[in-house]
Structure 1
Amino acid sequence: MRRIAGMVVALLALAAIGLGGWRLHAAREGVVEAPLAVGEIPARVFRPASGAAGPVVVVAHGFAGSQQMMQAFAVTLARGGYVAVTFDFPGHGRNPVPLAGGLSDDRAAAGALMAALGRVAEVARGLGDGRLALLGHSMAADIVVRFAFGRTDVTATVALSGFGPEVTAEHPRNLLLLVGAWEPEFLRDAARRLAGAGAERVTLGRFEDGTARRYAFAAGVEHIGILYSRDALAESLGWFDGVFGRTGSGFLDIRGGALALLFGGLLALGWPLSMLLPRAVAQVEGGGMGWWRFWPVVLVPAVLTPLLLRLVPRRFLPLLLGDYIALHCALYGVLTGLLLWWRGAGWSGARPGRVAVGAAGVAAYAMLSFGVATDLLLASFLPVGMRAWLVPVMLCGTLPWFLADEWAVRGPHAARLAAPATKLAFLVSLLIAVALDPRRLFFLIIIVPVMLLFLAVYGLVGRWSWRVTGTPLPAAIGHALALAWALAATFPLVE
């Protein structure tokens, strides 16, 4: 019966993957995509298949992002007759050049980002009819506004979720500000202040002399969700059409549903695939225990880890906050392991060869299914250049934590909801670390929602793996490698 259910789930998952992929592919109908050479800067150009030379829009991603995150805007603009160009900033995606300054020197970082934007804009301008516009998200929202300030050759600027550099009534020319309705109030206040009173969904000024100003709040989305928002796509396309006097197809690449189908199908496929893992023990094992004995294992590492790391030097990797994450995971895992030993949680009797095969299967599923789809559609997931040697370094941190955590939440006597409790405690621990050192660790707040999604998926797949293999070890090792890979591939490289 279990095999039949697995086959049914596999077929439904494959159908969801196929449907989601088809919808994403269909959105690109009439769009030609190709790489663009801008020195060492990875870039891509999206243009109408008709070959028409419309205005060029350079589309810039935010902090810790990559050009894949901006595809919905690039496809929407190309379907509307524009030439859209995406690229990776220094220290981001597949750009091999580290970001100067990092978070410690705003002037150096802004200079490096603006220089990269300028190089891409100079090359991109020649791909269209000579007219140029800019669109940027988060960090890049501020960069495109600064870059366009005082320049008459940038006809329009769209800033999504920007922090609000100073502007005037004339500069930058034709400015649209967009913020997610669920974003912090200070971002919404910045949009109101920069666009001017009365400019919410109302265009003030004139396109002809570059004084047009407008702001809007994208309904039902936050800082990342705005990149897939119907409101944000429609406002941006409408703004450029108004500036350049164009009437396009009105097509919007609303890909949230297709992405949900694709990634939901990939997750569901993990259950039948887990049935192929080898049995590693005769009887299921794990260190899980009842809540009365388990609560110190949940709470003590969450509190002690950020407090103890205040005493440890944390800058030794060219990966922004990668050193801190590695140390946090490693210490958290060691503390959890010591508490499990104190509680007499026992040790594994699994067969090492079968554990290794199971771990390879879990890691391959995580990196070849979710990893490939993520790299194509969401964010760069390939650790190129110096990022490659950072994977084993990050693994030194993620492996102790996953080994201890998986052992703590699995077993025949494990407390109910132990797995979500330890994952939530880990995220709370990261927030405590931010509260203790907000200047240096503020960026961790941005990644907490992404980490929550990662850990929810890992927890579910870990349970499936444990039930089949009988031991928590394959999932712990496989997921430690997958997370180390993801962190090394996505966190910004800095000097």
Structure 2
Amino acid sequence: MPDPGPAPRRLLAFGAVALLAVVLGALLLVRADAGLDTRRATVAGVPLTEVRAAGGDDGLRPGVVIAHGFAGSARLMRPLADTVARHGGVAVLLDFAGHGANPSRLPGAGRDDARARAVLRHDLDVAVAWLRSRPGVDPDRVVLVGHSMGAGAVTRYAVDHPELARTVAISLPDAGDVPAQWSGGLTLVVGGLEFPDFRRAADEAARGGPPGSRQLVVAPGTEHISVLFAPRTHAAVVAAIPGRPSGPSPAPPARLAGAGLLLLGLGLGFVPLAAVLLRRPPSPVAGPPAPAGAAHPRPGSARAAPGTGWPGRWLVVTVAAAGLGAALAAPLPTTRLPLAVGGHVAVFLLLTGGLLVAARRWLRPPATRVAVRPSAAAGPARAVRVAAALVGYAVLAVALPLHLGFTSATPVGSRWWLLPLVLLCCLVFLLGAELVTDGRGGRYAAVGGIGVVVLAAAAVTGLAPGFVLLVVPLFAALVAWQAAWAGVLRRRGAPWWLPALVGAVLLAWPIATTLPLA
């Protein structure tokens, strides 16, 4: 038997590691559910998830309602529910209007106004009433837990409901939600690396109330999202449950680790899949087709460097396009799209991508020769089949781990028509990046990085919603992910438009399915 070459060995190695990661990830996710009973119901339009330990005695158990923050979901808070259930409580998670599986819209597009507060209060009313009606739940021992927007909602609710046993506010946004004279029991949790406003709000809220009624807990080394998975946060929630039930030490990363391994395995699995679907081209020359009027190159001919005149022209054009895109997006009515924050991000990407496409002729005059890479998916029918397979795999790779271990990633309600719209905006941006950089991997990745930096700067200067700063790390990770996959496709000789199409799925799916409907 002939010895396989280095390339087949690498593909086999990628496939083996990918398969191992997927199997281990699936096993960890199954283990995270072991010993727990989960029930889902929709009550008065509010999706609810109940989690409790399987079996046990017939005695009454304390109940805990767990509320997520803005752009969160019940699934994001699931590790907290696991901890509550394993310590003898019954946890109920809810999806606020516009979030997760709730197709209703949250008024105000993220603004903390009276309409939004009324909707949040209604949803909490539904969750608390349902929890109290569940078999085996002690209605006199109910605790509220909330994160960020949810922290404000549960504290305001608790102020008007003194019968509640205790409240845990994680990353409380505004100390004004907690009256200084309120005597209810309150635990405030804040990450050591959070924005100063959150730390200040926790400090101020902890000063009021009768002596001993309020406790401040700092989870070191965590920011606004990772604080949810800190052992100290979970220990604070357990301590707030009446009766101090016993149980194992909290293990919040278990579900995240499973989803992370699944994500890694599916990400690596793209390499052998592309190798199967795409034959490596005979020539390494890459690049999008020449503009109209350009001379047709001979196969294998040298390609003129993009940006003839001086090498850095593509960089100047990218920075200018992103900056102008941010400036143009600011005054536009992006809130007309019922996708809070995501509407602005999508319009920014559309404008920046359109400007990059328009700038392509300036970067490469018509007389420039461009060698067209031989397509490994030659023929329209084969190209469509390959594209459909890779796009389907991209949906699976981003949606499945996200939904199983991080947050809700299933389209509901208006998200079904928002998804193709956001996909189009992301596709225009990535096609513009492909054209301006001539498909060169490092430059292509740099265009995405510039877009991330400009978007963050726009949020800091007020040109974009301030909440953009909290999703920038996720957006940056998605940009890096799609750039890596684009490099894989180019090396396999994919049609020049295919990396942008597959990458647009990776960017658009989380934006359209996780950011709130407003």
Query: Is the aligned partner of 1:425 residue 2:434?
Result: no
2:476 paired with 1:476: no
CA distance in 1, matches of 2:196, 2:347: 33
For structure 2, list consecutive stretches of 5 or more residues without a partner in the other structure. Answer: 289-304
- For the structure 1 residues 20 and 327, does the alpha-carbon distance in structure 2 shift closer, same or farther, using more than 3 Å as the test? same
Deviations 1:70-97 (A, max 9, x none): 0110111101111001111001111111
**1:342-372 Cα shifts (integer Å, max 9, x gaps):** 2228596754444433332332222112211
1:219 maps to: 220
CA contact (8 A) 2:28 2:257 kept: no
CA 331–37 in structure 1, closer or farther in 2 if over 3 Å, else same:
closer
Provide the rounded CA distance (Å) in 2 between the counterparts of 1:249 and 1:313: 51
Matches within 5 A, 1:348-363: 350=375, 351=378, 352-363=380-391
Q: Does residue 183 in structure 1 map to residue 188 in structure 2?
A: no
1:143 equivalent in alignment to 2:144: no
- Partner amino acid for 2:128? A
1:4-23 CA deviation, whole Å, 9 max, x = no partner?
22122211222122223322
Whether the 8 Å contact between 1:176 and 1:215 is mirrored in structure 2 is: yes
Corresponding residue for residue 134 of structure 1: 144
Asked if structure 2 preserves the Cα contact closer than 8 Å seen for 1:356 and 1:474, the reply is no
Greater shift after overlay, 100-109 or 397-406?
A: 100-109
Is the 8 Å Cα contact of residues 366 and 482 (structure 1) preserved in structure 2? yes
2:230 maps to 229
Deviations 1:436-469 (A, max 9, x none): 535x611211211110111111111111111113
Q: CA deviation at 1:245?
A: 3.8
For the 8 Å contact 1:98–1:493, the answer to whether it is kept is yes
Distance 1:79 1:170 in 2: 34
Measure, in 2, the Cα distance between the counterparts of 1:280 and 1:97: 48
Residue 115 in structure 1 maps to residue 140 in structure 2: no
- Flag structure 1 segments of 5+ consecutive residues without an equivalent: none
Q: Give the deviation of 1:169 after TM superposition.
A: 5.8
Q: Distance in 1 between matches of 2:170 and 2:111?
A: 24
Q: 1:232 to 1:300 in 2, by over 3 A?
A: same
User: Is 1:460 aligned to 2:484, yes or no?
Assistant: yes
Query: Partners in 1 of 2:322 and 2:200 — Cα distance?
Result: 35
Mean CA deviation greater in 481-490 or 286-295: 286-295
CA distance in 2, matches of 1:396, 1:450: 20
Give the aligned partner of residue 246 of structure 1: 245
2:344 equivalent to 1:324: yes
The whole-number CA distance in structure 2 between the counterparts of 1:361 and 1:478 is 10
Determine which of 24, 32, 38 is the counterpart of 2:37.
Answer: 32
Counterpart in the other structure of 2:319: 299
Q: 1:61 to 1:279 in 2, by over 3 A?
A: same
Tell me the distance in 2 between the aligned counterparts of 1:307 and 1:422: 18
Cα offset for 1:279? 4.4
SS in structure 1 at match of 2:61: coil
For 2:47, which of 42, 45, 62 is the aligned residue?
Answer: 42
Partner of 2:403: 375
Q: Which residue pairs with 2:273 in the alignment?
A: 273
Report if the CA contact (8 A) 2:46-2:96 is conserved.
yes
Alpha carbons of structure 1 residues 375 and 257: separation in structure 2 relative to 1, 3 Å: closer
Task: Work out which of the residue numbers 437, 440, 454 in structure 1 matches 2:462.
Answer: 437
- Give the alignment partner of residue 18 of structure 1, picking from 18, 23, 26: 23
Q: Note closer, same or farther for the CA distance 1:180–1:347 as it changes in structure 2 (3 Å cut).
A: farther
Q: Count the aligned residue pairs.
A: 478
SS at match of 2:49: strand
Instruction: Give the counterpart letter for 1:99 in structure 2.
Output: L
- Deviation of 1:51 (Å): 4.5
Higher mean displacement: 467-476 or 341-350: 341-350
2:238 touches 2:245 (CA, 8 Å); kept in 1? no
Q: How many angstroms apart in 1 are the aligned matches of 2:169 and 2:215? A: 11
SS at structure 1 position matched to 2:335: coil
Q: Distance in 1 between matches of 2:162 and 2:99?
A: 29
Give the letter for the 2:220 counterpart: A
Which piece of structure 1 moves more, 282-291 or 367-376? Answer: 282-291
Q: Deviations over 1:406-427 (max 9, x none)?
A: 344454xx3x731332111101
Q: CA separation in 1, counterparts of 2:19 and 2:356?
A: 38
State the Cα deviation string for residues 355-401 of structure 1 (Å, max 9, x = none).
43333233222211221121122111111122101122223311111
Question: Which residue identity is paired with 1:31?
Answer: L
CA contact (8 A) 1:90 1:98 kept: yes
Secondary structure of the 2:144 match is strand
Q: TM-score, normalised by structure 2?
A: 0.86
Percent identity of paired positions between Structure 1 and Structure 2:
31
Counterpart contact for 2:69–2:149, Cα < 8 Å? yes
Distance 2:110 2:244 in 1: 40
Specify the SS of the correspondent of 1:68.
coil
Look at both structures and tell me which one has the larger radius of gyration over its CA atoms. 2
User: 1:274 deviation in Å?
Assistant: 2.0
Cα 1:170/1:266, change in 2 over 3 Å: farther
Is 1:402 aligned with 2:423? no
Question: 1:410, 1:472 within 8 Å by CA — same for their partners in 2?
Answer: no
Match of 1:417, as an amino acid?
G
How big is the alpha-carbon RMSD for the aligned residues of Structure 1 and Structure 2? 2.5
- Cα offsets for 1:195-240 (capped at 9, x unmatched): 129x9xxxx845xxxx2x1112212211111122122112221332
Question: CA 1:105 to 1:187, structure 2 compared with 1: closer, same or farther past 3 Å?
Answer: closer
* SS of aligned partner of 1:84: strand
